[in-house]
Structure 1
Amino acid sequence: MPAEALRPASDTPPVLDPRLFPQDFGQYGARVEHLAQQLAATVVERDRQGGSAQAQRELIRESGLLTLAIPQRYDGQERPWPEIYRIVRYLAAADSSLAHLFAFNHLQVATILLHGSPEQQRHWLTRSVQQRWFWGNATNGRDTGLKLQAREEHYELNGSKSFCSGALGADALVVSAPRGNSASERVFLLLPSQREGLAINDDWDAFGQRQTDSGTVQFENVFVDRDDLLVSGGQSPRSSLRVGISQLILTQLYLGNAQAALNAALRYTNEQARPWAGSGLASAGEDPFIQKRFGDLWLSYRGALLLAENAAERLQQAWEKPALGAAERGEVALLIAEARVATARAALDITAQIFDAMGARATASRYGFDRFWRNVRVHTLHDPLDYKVRDIGNWLVNAAPPTPSLYA
């Protein structure tokens, strides 16, 4: 895409007020802003419709941003995770569902880098760059309805997986299945989405994150070559960073919704909200109670943002170490748990309390302001926050870092 086409129109405002939410995407600034504006233009209507936003997925593909996590040796752009997360966060402010799909594409790339052999990485990732692949997943670790069975020269997959974000419309999938007869250990494998016997269903129907293509994938005698299994990563401290990458994606989605809610509420308050009749004030923005509410929400957002950025920086440091120790992995996991809890709490508060500042007229469906809370509420249930808080408390009381698991 030529640079001129990526440059946002001068009369089109950015998705977020840059004075309050400064962004720095380096060389990708024009692409990110242009994509965000394209997604934001139709997000309210598409949120009401639900279903699959395949046209918007193509906008992401055309942006050239799907290869950010792929190393340069495989012809990718090899950007650090903090930079990728900032882009995810900004896109989430424009459209939380499509930002989820964008981010999960990079999670699958990370899975290949953490669990694949050098030969597998080269084969799949160079192909991904050349053919502009969009990756989806079928890796829900708690869903044990999928069986990987050994045959003479290959394997077969039978069963189903739920919560398969990004699967519908993906070019290839990362799939997980129990290793042997063990439900607690799993193996990752890679499949082109057109593999015979693989059916991807459009049956996702939550009240938030409505266009994440997170339906059910069914497998019927699906052929799996032995080379399709990612086996080199094992269960090392470094390979378990996949969980941290995933958890920090959730924090960016929370923060993006929180930013968008604050941005929308401030604009509405200044442009449309009316002062309370008994206040004696000329505008809603002069009301000290509204000012205090926004001040409290801003402090909540800022504290959560700093925790998330700190966790992302530490994750990047761990990512760059070929031999990551268990102790350092535990430290990173704690920082990620702190960020996940703080951002979830802040986003839930912000996306709910903006209505106290804006008033009843802001609940009109044409604004779609409720989508911010719905998106956050659905995603904060991904795995229980209480267990994250328990992990933090266990570390404080007993000096025990989180035990590596599907979610920690």
Structure 2
Amino acid sequence: MGVATAPSEPASEFDRTGPGRAHWLRVARETAEDLATDAVAREQAGKVPFGEVSGLREAGLLTLLIPAELGGGGDDWLTAYAVVREIAAADGAIGQLLGHHYFLSWSARHYAEPALAAHVERRSATEQWCWGGALAPQDMPLPLTLARKAGGHVLDGRQSYATGVLVADRLAVRAERADTGEPLAVVVDPARHGVRVEGDADTFGQRLAAGGSVEFDAVPVAAEDVLCSLSADEEVLSPRAALASPVGRLLSVQLLLGMTEGVLAEAREYSRAGHSPRHPSWPDSSHQDPQVLTAYGELTVLARSASALTEQALQAVQRGLACGEALTYDEYADISVLVSVAEAAASRAAQESTTRALDIVGARSASSRLGFDRFWRNVRTHTLQEPVAHRLRDVGDYFLNGAHPPFGLPV
């Protein structure tokens, strides 16, 4: 019996013309196994993950969400979520990198006009782009600005820490129109003149997520590279467009659940090998240690509870995507709250599991050779970037007052 079960797989509303979910889950498991073989050494080396991205590209995982008729894998979000969770169990940073790529590469289809979205996705599939950047507002003194210029626009400013920028073939960034302040989603080739990518993230966890900052100095932007408005004004933002928020936030949930399952699986294997932090002389040691058994029981309950709540959110998001333009604001609010509940549960499960797993292993968990600390550092770094306190307030306000949660893209 596993620590926590993967979500069930209801039928998708999309026509399947690609290899199918079973194929992609098998590919994800094989990729995760490859990543797990040297996860500790790679994390400690902290090199830019060009090799890991090449592995994802060769496996076909980068194009999973792109329609098959455009040259992609032709699958849906249920499969993408399961793939991210599988990869994250082996390597949380690469799971974050892949999930972030999925959200940014999918944003063109969700936000842009169909013809433009198809053009972007076809090129992304043909050239096997890896996407990086960020569309969420940043707490910076000066946002990126997009000013009109003859024949197009120019982009100026600095985007601070964003996932994937060190390995990206395309950047998706949020910029404000210089004349109106309207936020826009903009696609930029990082090889363009005036773009400077810096590896200055310097985080203690998620070190292989290829995070960094990007400077834009009068970078030319063609009209076709301005995808859409990111305004949260309800006169501009439809319920369908707002659905991008819970869709993206569920990637964070799957990432946390994957890391939870990963640390518990590794700790369990260590315990089964006969190690006990308190009773090394006992036969079968930690198999019979009541404190260890209780700890595993409590963490399994947390993990499975978070997984069950996530399943509810997954099904709600799937229904919302199926509604399309018929989705209402009330339905969007229900979906967003269910995702917030899953976020809170997954955050708690991940933080508890990665902390208490160190206690279960005992003093040996301080050994850098074992690498148990990477789970705690990766989870803590992610939960600092995506805190859930405001999500809990949204859930409480919805429960007590029926208030709709504010729209907000994931960091």
Q: Which of the residues 102, 105, 130 maps onto 1:106? A: 102
Equivalent position SS for 1:381: helix
| SS in structure 2 of the partner of residue 156 of structure 1 | strand
**276 and 19 in structure 1: CA distance in 2 versus 1, 3 angstrom threshold:** closer
Q: What's the secondary structure of 1:301's corresponding residue?
A: helix
- Paired with 1:350 and 1:181, the residues of 2 have a C-alpha distance of 49
Tell me what 2:311 maps to.
309
CA shift in 2, pair 1:236/1:180, >3 Å: farther
State the distance in 2 between where 1:389 and 1:46 align.
35
Indicate how the Cα distance of structure 1 residues 366 and 275 shifts in structure 2: closer, same or farther if over 3 A, else same: closer
Please state if 1:271 is matched with 2:273: yes
Query: Against the structure 1 CA distance between its residues 250 and 306, is the aligned structure 2 distance closer, same or farther, given a 3 Å change threshold?
Result: same
Q: How far apart are residue 39 of structure 1 and its match?
A: 1.3
State the SS of the aligned residue for 2:247: helix
Q: Distance in 2 between matches of 1:38 and 1:344?
A: 26
- What residue in structure 1 maps to residue 383 of structure 2? 380
Q: How many Å apart are 1:393 and its aligned residue?
A: 0.7
Identify if the C-alpha distance between structure 1 residues 49 and 400 changes in structure 2 by more than 3 Å, giving closer, same or farther.
same
* 2:363 aligned with 1:360: yes
* Matches for 1:251-262 after TM superposition, within 5 Å: 251-262=253-264
- Higher relative CO (Cα under 8 Å, sequence separation at least 6) belongs to 2
Q: Paired residue for 1:11?
A: none
Shift of 1:281: 5.8
1:145 aligns with 2:147: no
Q: 1:402 to 1:255 in 2, by over 3 A?
A: same
* Secondary structure of residue in 2 paired with 1:313: helix
Match of 2:36 in 1: 40
- Residue of structure 1 equivalent to 2:194: 197
Is 1:176 the counterpart of 2:179? The answer is no
Please say if 1:403 is aligned against 2:406. Answer: yes
Partner Cα separation in structure 2 for residue 386 and residue 138 of structure 1 = 21
Contact 1:281–1:287 (CA under 8 A) maintained in structure 2: no
User: CA offsets per residue over residues 273-294 of structure 1, 9 Å max, x none?
Assistant: 1363499665221112211110
Q: CA deviation at 1:66?
A: 1.2
| Equivalent-residue separation in structure 1 for 2:307 and 2:156 (angstroms) | 42
Is 1:92–1:100's contact at 8 Å kept on the other side of the alignment? Answer: yes
Tell me, yes or no, if the aligned pair for 1:82 and 1:309 is still in contact at 8 Å. no
Counterpart CA distance in 1 for 2:281 and 2:40 is 33
Q: Distance in 2 between matches of 1:111 and 1:29?
A: 23
Tell me the secondary structure at the aligned position of residue 66 of structure 1: helix
Q: 384-393 vs 267-276, which deviates more?
A: 267-276
CA distance, structure 1, for counterparts of residue 302 and residue 3 of structure 2:
18
Q: Is 1:292 matched up with 2:294?
A: yes
Normalised to the residue count of structure 2, the TM-score between the two structures is: 0.89
Q: Is the CA contact 1:140–1:162 (under 8 Å) kept in the aligned structure 2?
A: no
Q: Secondary structure at the match of 1:162?
A: strand
Find the aligned partners of 2:29 and 2:84 in 1 and give their Cα distance. 12
Q: 1:153 to 1:30 in 2, by over 3 A?
A: same
1:1-400 to structure 2, matched below 5 A, reads: 21=5, 25-142=21-138, 143=140, 144-180=142-178, 185-231=182-228, 234-274=236-276, 276-277=278-279, 283-323=285-325, 324-400=327-403
Query: The residue matched to 1:380 in structure 2 has which SS?
Result: helix
CA distance in 2, matches of 1:242, 1:366: 40
What TM-score do you get using the length of structure 1 for normalisation?
Answer: 0.90
CA distance in 2, matches of 1:359, 1:60: 35
Secondary structure of 2:176 counterpart: strand
CA contact (8 A) 1:138 1:167 kept: no
Question: Which residue identity lines up with residue 169 of structure 1 in the other structure?
Answer: V
Q: Is the 8 A contact 2:172 2:186 kept in 1?
A: yes
| Worse overlay, 24-33 or 305-314 | 24-33
> What is the deviation of 1:19?
8.1
What is residue 9 of structure 1 aligned with on the other side?
Answer: none
Q: Does the residue aligned with 2:62 lie in a helix, a strand or coil?
A: coil
Q: Secondary structure at the match of 1:176?
A: strand
> For residue 198 of structure 2, what is the amino acid of its counterpart?
N
**Conserved? CA contact 2:277–2:362, under 8 Å:** no
Moved more, 281-290 or 301-310: 281-290
In structure 2, do the counterparts of structure 1 residues 275 and 95 end up closer, same or farther at CA, with 3 Å as the change threshold?
A: closer
- Percent identity reads 32
Q: Considering only aligned residues, what root-mean-square deviation do their CA atoms show, in Å?
A: 2.2
Superimposed CA distance per residue, residues 342-395 of structure 1 (whole angstroms, 9 cap, x where no aligned partner): 100111001100122222123211010011111111111224311111111111
Check whether the contact 1:341–1:388 (CA below 8 A) recurs between aligned residues: yes
Distance 1:348 1:244 in 2: 21
Name structure 1 gaps, 5 residues minimum.
1-16
Q: State the Cα deviation string for residues 284-335 of structure 1 (Å, max 9, x = none).
A: 2111221111000000000001111221221122112221211111111001
Matched-pair contact (CA < 8 Å) for 2:49–2:167? no
- Cα distance in 2, alignment partners of residues 308 and 44 from structure 1: 28
Q: In structure 2, do the counterparts of structure 1 residues 125 and 407 end up closer, same or farther at CA, with 3 Å as the change threshold? A: closer
Whole-angstrom distance in 1 between the partners of 2:135 and 2:253: 19
Q: Is the 8 A contact 2:165 2:171 kept in 1?
A: yes
1:21 positional shift: 4.8
Q: Which amino acid aligns with 1:190?
A: V
Counterpart residue identity of residue 158, structure 1: D
Distance 2:347 2:72 in 1: 32
**Residue identity matched to 2:225:** D
Comparing 286-295 and 75-84, the one that deviates more: 75-84
